[in-house]
A = this chain, B = another copy of it.
Amino acid sequence: MLIRSGQARTRAELIARTGLSRSTVTQRLSELFDLNLIVSVGDAASTGGRPPSFLSFNSRAGAVISVVLGSTHMRVALLDLGGEILAQHVEAHVMSGGPVATLERVAAAVDGLRDDAGIEPHPIWGCGVGLPGPVEFASGRPVSPPIMPGWDGFPVGDWLRDRFSCTVLVDNEVNVMTLGEREQCFPGERDLVCVKVGTGIGAGLIIDGRLYRGAQGSAGDIGHIYVPGHDDVVCECGNTGCLEAVVSGRGLARRLREAGLDTHSSRDVVREAQNGSQIAVQVVREAGRELGLVLAGLVNSINPAVVVLTGAMTAAGDNLLAGAREVVYRRSAPLATRNLRIVTSTSSDKAGIVGAATMTVDALLDRITGAEAQPPSSFATATSRAG
């Protein structure tokens, strides 16, 4: 949206940038003023006649709820429309109690945040959710999620929409983290891959400026790509030699156990690597190379400008990144790596929360401004019920 990004600040600039007629721009601006989304902030230099007003996006016109469910924690936050966190709540939580118990905890946490923070004056516009497994984005339902027993096909989006009376968007956790990484650390980047290496492994793809979900919503699901040299390692998916079975926190803990260390989780692996265990450092480096081989395939195939590594295993030190870089640069076409940056995330834990909010705000604004060819009816319903 041109006003939000600062690319157009007056009515005349909007008309010039969009090619829309004056009457169309005036009508759309009027809708945005009605929603309190746009405010006038002083006058631009006059060029004769009535001085034009500067238009500014009012990020405090409403708030969105962000929910990120991980394998061990849930994180719930309220953010303004500019992605600023207004209030946040984190608690230890496992998904094994099934969807209703978890979503009741989410709803209670949201109620708590709204009470505590005096957020009520901000109408809730929408809710963005990240789940630790495959999600059918259009319906907001998990699809055979391996670490979420009882969640397969559960209408997470519908359940929360009924509870919060607002538009709810549900996606997998890596996709929302990818949006948050871009928003926080690479604003405006059009070609970015974000790879999470934690208990599992997955990626999110930003392609030509938009998150790409693929034909069935499984784009970025790189955890089951074959890595040579580990044909004896059986993955949870039933195949052997999958990236996730070999390089994830679980996979590394197993490899270190076989070498005699007492490692059972990502955290154990990180501890051993940070303590300077020679074998842990070696195995993490080798895992970086194996990850790099898969990333080289991705870099050759889709030619991103940025690859960001995130997730628990990045805390094991620079060896994961170094190993990945080594093989990506060795095994990719020179043109594809000419300006490529491969970096570790610096966005701390906020990326998921910010990304879920960004996903929601972008979708709502697309709907209002007509970038999506849908009438804004469901949005209007949601805000009037929430307001």
Which residue numbers of A lie inside 8 Å of B, CB to CB? 17, 19-21, 23-24, 27, 134, 143-144, 190-191, 203, 205, 207-208, 210, 212-222, 224-226, 228-229, 237, 239, 293-294, 296-298, 300-305, 330-336, 338-340, 370, 373
User: How many angstroms from the CA of A229 to the CA of B226 in the assembled complex?
Assistant: 13
Given contacts A214-B303, A302-B301, A336-B218, contact A228 B228 (CB under 8 A): yes
User: How many angstroms from the CA of A347 to the CA of B233 in the assembled complex?
Assistant: 42
- Given the complex, which residues of B lie within 8 Å of A294, measured CB to CB? 297
How far does the Cβ of A42 sit from chain B's closest Cβ, in whole Å?
27
- Given the complex, which residues of B lie within 8 Å of A339, measured CB to CB? 215-216
Known: A208-B210, A298-B301, A302-B302. 10 other contacts (CB 8 A): A20-B24, A21-B21, A191-B214, A207-B208, A214-B304, A218-B336, A219-B302, A226-B293, A228-B229, A239-B330
Contact present for A301 and B222 (CB under 8 Å): yes
Partner of A217, one of B304, B331, B335: B335
Q: How many copies does the complex hold?
A: 2
Residue of B nearest to A229 (CB): B228
How far does the Cβ of A70 sit from chain B's closest Cβ, in whole Å?
21
Q: List 13 A-B contacts (CB under 8 A).
A: A19-B370, A191-B215, A207-B208, A212-B302, A214-B336, A215-B304, A217-B303, A219-B301, A219-B303, A222-B301, A224-B333, A226-B296, A302-B302
How far does the Cβ of A205 sit from chain B's closest Cβ, in whole Å?
7
Residue of B nearest to A27 (CB): B21
How far does the Cβ of A45 sit from chain B's closest Cβ, in whole Å?
25
User: How many angstroms from the CA of A222 to the CA of B220 in the assembled complex?
Assistant: 17
Contact present for B208 and A19 (CB under 8 Å): no
- Given the complex, which residues of B lie within 8 Å of A226, measured CB to CB? 293, 296-297, 331
- Given the complex, which residues of B lie within 8 Å of A330, measured CB to CB? 239
Partner of A301, one of B190, B297, B331: B297
- Top 7 nearest A-B pairs (CB, nearest first) are A214-B303, A228-B228, A215-B305, A191-B215, A219-B303, A19-B370, A21-B24
Contact present for B215 and A303 (CB under 8 Å): yes
Residue of B nearest to A143 (CB): B335
Contact present for B221 and A300 (CB under 8 Å): yes
- Given the complex, which residues of B lie within 8 Å of A24, measured CB to CB? 20-21, 24
- Given the complex, which residues of B lie within 8 Å of A332, measured CB to CB? 224
User: How many angstroms from the CA of A336 to the CA of B302 in the assembled complex?
Assistant: 17
Given contacts A23-B23, A294-B297, contact A335 B218 (CB under 8 A): yes
- Given the complex, which residues of B lie within 8 Å of A335, measured CB to CB? 134, 143-144, 216-218, 221
User: How many angstroms from the CA of A293 to the CA of B226 in the assembled complex?
Assistant: 8
- Given the complex, which residues of B lie within 8 Å of A300, measured CB to CB? 218, 221-222, 224-225
User: How many angstroms from the CA of A370 to the CA of B24 in the assembled complex?
Assistant: 15
User: How many angstroms from the CA of A203 to the CA of B301 in the assembled complex?
Assistant: 8
User: How many angstroms from the CA of A40 to the CA of B144 in the assembled complex?
Assistant: 52
- Given the complex, which residues of B lie within 8 Å of A224, measured CB to CB? 300, 331-333
- Given the complex, which residues of B lie within 8 Å of A17, measured CB to CB? 373
Most buried by B among A144, A221, A239: A221
How far does the Cβ of A366 sit from chain B's closest Cβ, in whole Å?
12
User: How many angstroms from the CA of A332 to the CA of B243 in the assembled complex?
Assistant: 12
Residue of B nearest to A369 (CB): B19
How far does the Cβ of A250 sit from chain B's closest Cβ, in whole Å?
18
